[in-house]
Amino acid sequence: MANPHDSPDTKSVEPSAAQNVGCLSILIRLYWAFFGLACFAMCSAFMLLGYKRESSGWLEGMLIFFAISIVCVRFIDIRYFNGKNSKNEPATMRDLGILGAAIGLATVVVLVLAAFVL
């Protein structure tokens, strides 16, 4: 006798990992959208205000660390946690490329301005 649970009409629906991520996905989004960018902006501001001379290199290291970590965390958000873009649509690797280019350009501009202009 056939098991009624094996019939083709009955489909077991298993929740995907992306739907049950809970607190971790929120923390990841908070990092790349707010905390990471705020720390990146603060490092940039300190460098452009002249604190670079007193930092002996750790400020540049922190700026580069936050730039790389923002892009990496955004990649994890898109790849594993079904990240959304500003239009509440699923984010793509194109969105990641735009963010990476913007962060990379901002990092280079801040480092060049702090080293040669200010």
Q: Is the dihedral of CA 32, 34, 36, 38 positive or negative?
A: positive
Cα–Cα dist 32/91, whole Å: 14
Q: What is the pTM of this model?
A: 0.78
pLDDT (mean) for 78-91? 91
pLDDT at 22: 83
Point out the least confidently predicted range of 16-20, 57-61, 71-75, 81-85: 16-20
Q: Which one-letter DSSP state was computed for residue 87?
A: T
Mean pLDDT of the chain: 84
pLDDT at 86: 85
